[in-house]
Amino acid sequence: MTNKLFNLAIIPLLIIAQRSPLDALIFNQPPPPPDKDTPGQQSDSGTRGPCDAQPAETDNQLVAIVPAIEKTGISLSETHVWGLTQSKHPTLWFYLPATATSAQVAQFSIENEADYQANFQFNLPQTPGIINLAIPTNEPPLEPGKWYYWSLKLYCQTPASAPNFFVDGWIKRVQVETPLNGNTSPEKVVIYAQNGLWFDTVTELANLHRQNPQETETAWANLLESIGWEQLTKTPIIPCCTLEKQ
Protein backbone atom coordinates (compact mmCIF):
# COMPACT_ATOMS: atom_id res chain seq x y z
CA MET A 1 0.00 0.00 0.00
CA THR A 2 1.41 3.26 -1.04
CA ASN A 3 1.19 6.13 1.38
CA LYS A 4 0.69 9.44 -0.31
CA LEU A 5 1.91 12.52 1.42
CA PHE A 6 -0.22 15.56 0.91
CA ASN A 7 1.28 18.98 1.53
CA LEU A 8 -1.39 20.90 3.32
CA ALA A 9 -1.11 24.60 2.69
CA ILE A 10 -1.78 26.46 5.87
CA ILE A 11 -3.78 29.54 5.05
CA PRO A 12 -3.33 32.19 7.73
CA LEU A 13 -6.54 33.47 9.21
CA LEU A 14 -6.63 37.22 9.08
CA ILE A 15 -8.96 38.76 11.57
CA ILE A 16 -9.87 42.16 10.30
CA ALA A 17 -11.65 44.50 12.62
CA GLN A 18 -14.90 45.58 11.14
CA ARG A 19 -14.71 49.21 10.19
CA SER A 20 -17.59 51.57 10.65
CA PRO A 21 -18.74 53.59 7.62
CA LEU A 22 -18.24 56.64 9.85
CA ASP A 23 -14.47 56.12 10.22
CA ALA A 24 -13.69 58.13 7.11
CA LEU A 25 -16.64 60.52 7.21
CA ILE A 26 -16.13 63.64 5.11
CA PHE A 27 -18.88 66.19 4.59
CA ASN A 28 -19.18 67.25 0.96
CA GLN A 29 -19.88 70.96 1.37
CA PRO A 30 -21.70 72.31 -1.70
CA PRO A 31 -20.43 75.59 -3.18
CA PRO A 32 -22.31 78.76 -2.22
CA PRO A 33 -25.48 79.12 -4.26
CA PRO A 34 -24.71 81.41 -7.21
CA ASP A 35 -28.28 82.70 -7.46
CA LYS A 36 -28.96 83.39 -3.80
CA ASP A 37 -27.39 85.56 -1.10
CA THR A 38 -27.48 83.75 2.24
CA PRO A 39 -25.91 86.15 4.77
CA GLY A 40 -26.09 85.10 8.38
CA GLN A 41 -24.43 84.94 11.77
CA GLN A 42 -23.07 81.62 12.97
CA SER A 43 -22.20 82.67 16.53
CA ASP A 44 -22.81 85.46 19.02
CA SER A 45 -21.09 86.13 22.34
CA GLY A 46 -23.90 88.35 23.60
CA THR A 47 -23.31 91.68 21.90
CA ARG A 48 -25.88 93.33 24.19
CA GLY A 49 -24.48 91.64 27.26
CA PRO A 50 -24.76 88.07 28.61
CA CYS A 51 -27.66 87.12 30.82
CA ASP A 52 -25.59 86.00 33.80
CA ALA A 53 -21.93 86.80 33.23
CA GLN A 54 -19.07 86.02 35.53
CA PRO A 55 -15.87 88.07 35.14
CA ALA A 56 -13.83 85.02 34.12
CA GLU A 57 -16.57 83.35 32.07
CA THR A 58 -15.24 82.22 28.70
CA ASP A 59 -18.14 79.97 27.71
CA ASN A 60 -20.08 82.74 26.02
CA GLN A 61 -20.77 81.85 22.38
CA LEU A 62 -24.24 80.93 21.17
CA VAL A 63 -23.44 78.81 18.11
CA ALA A 64 -25.56 77.69 15.20
CA ILE A 65 -24.15 74.30 14.20
CA VAL A 66 -24.33 75.17 10.52
CA PRO A 67 -21.59 75.79 7.94
CA ALA A 68 -20.46 79.40 7.61
CA ILE A 69 -18.69 80.40 4.42
CA GLU A 70 -16.94 83.66 3.65
CA LYS A 71 -18.14 85.05 0.34
CA THR A 72 -16.32 88.01 -1.14
CA GLY A 73 -18.51 90.67 -2.68
CA ILE A 74 -17.66 93.75 -4.69
CA SER A 75 -16.35 95.76 -1.76
CA LEU A 76 -16.30 93.48 1.30
CA SER A 77 -16.37 89.92 2.58
CA GLU A 78 -19.66 88.57 3.92
CA THR A 79 -20.41 85.52 6.03
CA HIS A 80 -23.01 83.18 4.60
CA VAL A 81 -24.67 80.63 6.89
CA TRP A 82 -26.68 77.97 5.10
CA GLY A 83 -27.28 74.28 4.56
CA LEU A 84 -29.39 71.79 2.65
CA THR A 85 -31.89 69.16 3.81
CA GLN A 86 -34.16 66.57 2.28
CA SER A 87 -36.44 66.58 5.32
CA LYS A 88 -39.92 68.10 5.22
CA HIS A 89 -39.57 69.11 8.88
CA PRO A 90 -35.84 69.36 9.60
CA THR A 91 -34.06 69.69 12.91
CA LEU A 92 -31.59 72.50 13.60
CA TRP A 93 -28.80 72.26 16.19
CA PHE A 94 -27.27 74.93 18.42
CA TYR A 95 -24.77 75.26 21.23
CA LEU A 96 -26.18 77.05 24.28
CA PRO A 97 -23.45 78.70 26.39
CA ALA A 98 -23.47 79.07 30.16
CA THR A 99 -23.99 82.82 29.82
CA ALA A 100 -27.33 82.30 28.05
CA THR A 101 -28.99 79.53 30.10
CA SER A 102 -30.87 82.06 32.24
CA ALA A 103 -32.42 83.88 29.28
CA GLN A 104 -36.06 84.70 29.94
CA VAL A 105 -37.29 84.29 26.37
CA ALA A 106 -36.05 81.96 23.62
CA GLN A 107 -37.55 82.57 20.19
CA PHE A 108 -37.07 80.63 16.96
CA SER A 109 -38.47 81.90 13.66
CA ILE A 110 -38.57 80.53 10.14
CA GLU A 111 -40.01 81.96 6.93
CA ASN A 112 -39.74 81.69 3.19
CA GLU A 113 -39.70 84.58 0.76
CA ALA A 114 -43.30 84.24 -0.33
CA ASP A 115 -46.09 82.87 1.81
CA TYR A 116 -44.90 81.32 5.07
CA GLN A 117 -43.74 82.70 8.41
CA ALA A 118 -43.82 81.08 11.84
CA ASN A 119 -42.57 82.17 15.28
CA PHE A 120 -41.99 79.76 18.13
CA GLN A 121 -40.90 79.93 21.75
CA PHE A 122 -39.32 77.20 23.89
CA ASN A 123 -37.95 76.62 27.38
CA LEU A 124 -34.19 76.60 27.75
CA PRO A 125 -32.35 73.94 29.78
CA GLN A 126 -30.60 75.03 32.95
CA THR A 127 -27.21 73.72 31.86
CA PRO A 128 -25.08 74.59 28.81
CA GLY A 129 -24.82 72.12 25.97
CA ILE A 130 -25.90 71.26 22.45
CA ILE A 131 -29.65 71.51 21.87
CA ASN A 132 -31.89 70.77 18.91
CA LEU A 133 -35.00 72.45 17.55
CA ALA A 134 -37.23 70.30 15.36
CA ILE A 135 -39.78 72.09 13.20
CA PRO A 136 -43.14 70.66 14.34
CA THR A 137 -44.73 68.13 12.00
CA ASN A 138 -48.04 69.99 12.14
CA GLU A 139 -46.41 72.90 10.34
CA PRO A 140 -46.50 73.08 6.53
CA PRO A 141 -43.57 71.06 5.13
CA LEU A 142 -40.63 72.88 3.62
CA GLU A 143 -41.19 73.12 -0.11
CA PRO A 144 -38.46 71.66 -2.33
CA GLY A 145 -36.36 74.27 -4.09
CA LYS A 146 -37.36 77.15 -1.80
CA TRP A 147 -35.04 78.99 0.53
CA TYR A 148 -36.13 79.53 4.14
CA TYR A 149 -34.63 82.08 6.51
CA TRP A 150 -34.38 81.12 10.17
CA SER A 151 -33.23 82.92 13.32
CA LEU A 152 -32.72 82.15 17.00
CA LYS A 153 -33.03 85.00 19.50
CA LEU A 154 -32.44 84.87 23.25
CA TYR A 155 -33.66 87.67 25.50
CA CYS A 156 -32.33 88.12 29.01
CA GLN A 157 -35.23 90.28 30.18
CA THR A 158 -38.97 90.51 29.75
CA PRO A 159 -40.68 92.15 28.07
CA ALA A 160 -38.45 91.22 25.14
CA SER A 161 -37.03 94.15 23.22
CA ALA A 162 -33.66 93.60 21.51
CA PRO A 163 -32.15 90.10 21.74
CA ASN A 164 -29.01 89.58 23.81
CA PHE A 165 -27.98 86.59 21.67
CA PHE A 166 -28.76 86.22 17.98
CA VAL A 167 -27.82 83.75 15.23
CA ASP A 168 -29.43 83.31 11.85
CA GLY A 169 -29.05 81.61 8.48
CA TRP A 170 -30.76 79.82 5.61
CA ILE A 171 -32.01 76.35 4.79
CA LYS A 172 -33.17 74.80 1.53
CA ARG A 173 -34.96 71.53 0.97
CA VAL A 174 -33.76 69.48 -1.97
CA GLN A 175 -34.88 66.15 -3.36
CA VAL A 176 -32.25 63.41 -3.47
CA GLU A 177 -32.72 60.25 -5.53
CA THR A 178 -30.39 58.09 -3.44
CA PRO A 179 -32.58 55.43 -1.73
CA LEU A 180 -32.15 55.03 2.02
CA ASN A 181 -34.45 52.06 2.65
CA GLY A 182 -32.56 49.32 4.44
CA ASN A 183 -29.55 51.47 5.27
CA THR A 184 -28.24 51.52 8.82
CA SER A 185 -27.92 54.82 10.65
CA PRO A 186 -24.14 55.05 10.05
CA GLU A 187 -24.70 54.39 6.35
CA LYS A 188 -27.36 57.10 6.25
CA VAL A 189 -24.92 59.59 7.78
CA VAL A 190 -22.39 58.83 5.04
CA ILE A 191 -25.00 59.13 2.26
CA TYR A 192 -26.27 62.42 3.66
CA ALA A 193 -22.70 63.76 3.94
CA GLN A 194 -21.79 62.67 0.41
CA ASN A 195 -24.85 64.49 -0.92
CA GLY A 196 -24.09 67.69 1.00
CA LEU A 197 -27.21 67.45 3.19
CA TRP A 198 -25.95 69.23 6.29
CA PHE A 199 -29.04 69.19 8.49
CA ASP A 200 -29.73 65.50 7.84
CA THR A 201 -26.07 64.60 8.43
CA VAL A 202 -25.77 66.39 11.76
CA THR A 203 -29.16 65.16 13.01
CA GLU A 204 -28.51 61.50 12.21
CA LEU A 205 -24.96 61.63 13.59
CA ALA A 206 -25.93 63.58 16.72
CA ASN A 207 -28.57 60.98 17.55
CA LEU A 208 -25.98 58.22 17.09
CA HIS A 209 -23.43 60.15 19.16
CA ARG A 210 -25.91 60.56 21.97
CA GLN A 211 -26.39 56.76 22.06
CA ASN A 212 -22.79 55.64 21.41
CA PRO A 213 -20.41 58.53 22.11
CA GLN A 214 -17.23 56.42 22.06
CA GLU A 215 -17.98 54.78 18.71
CA THR A 216 -18.89 58.07 17.03
CA GLU A 217 -16.43 60.45 18.69
CA THR A 218 -14.07 60.72 15.70
CA ALA A 219 -16.86 61.27 13.18
CA TRP A 220 -18.56 63.82 15.45
CA ALA A 221 -15.26 65.68 15.94
CA ASN A 222 -14.58 65.69 12.20
CA LEU A 223 -18.04 67.05 11.42
CA LEU A 224 -17.75 69.85 13.98
CA GLU A 225 -14.22 70.63 12.78
CA SER A 226 -15.54 71.07 9.24
CA ILE A 227 -17.51 74.12 10.42
CA GLY A 228 -14.82 75.47 12.74
CA TRP A 229 -16.21 74.27 16.09
CA GLU A 230 -14.21 71.16 16.95
CA GLN A 231 -13.95 72.48 20.54
CA LEU A 232 -17.57 71.41 21.02
CA THR A 233 -16.71 67.72 20.50
CA LYS A 234 -16.90 66.85 24.21
CA THR A 235 -19.95 69.02 24.84
CA PRO A 236 -22.99 67.11 26.11
CA ILE A 237 -26.12 66.93 23.98
CA ILE A 238 -28.95 68.17 26.18
CA PRO A 239 -32.49 66.73 25.85
CA CYS A 240 -34.22 69.86 24.62
CA CYS A 241 -36.34 71.51 23.20
CA THR A 242 -40.00 71.60 22.10
CA LEU A 243 -41.12 74.48 19.91
CA GLU A 244 -44.47 76.06 20.75
CA LYS A 245 -46.02 78.32 18.17
CA GLN A 246 -46.77 81.89 19.18
**Which DSSP symbol is given to 119?**
E
Listing from the earlier edge strand, what are the strands of the sheet with 43-44? Answer: 43-44, 62-64, 91-96, 129-134
Identify whether the C-beta of residue 105 lies closer than 8 Å to the C-beta of residue 154. Answer: yes
Ordered DSSP codes for 142-203: PPBT-EEEEEEEEESSSS--S-SEEEEEEEEE-------TT--HHHHHHHHHHTT-HHHHHH
pLDDT digits (tens, 9 = 90+) for 194-223: 999 999 999 999 999 999 998 999 999 999
Q: How would residue 31 be classed by pLDDT, with cut points 50, 70 and 90?
A: confident
pLDDT given at position 88: 96
Q: What predicted TM-score, i.e. pTM, was given to this entire model?
A: 0.87
Poorest-pLDDT segment among 53-67, 148-162, 166-180: 53-67
Mean pLDDT of 21-41: 86
Q: What is the largest CA-CA distance in the chain?
A: 105
Q: Mean pLDDT, to the nearest integer, of 162-174? A: 94
Rounded mean pLDDT of 117-140? 95
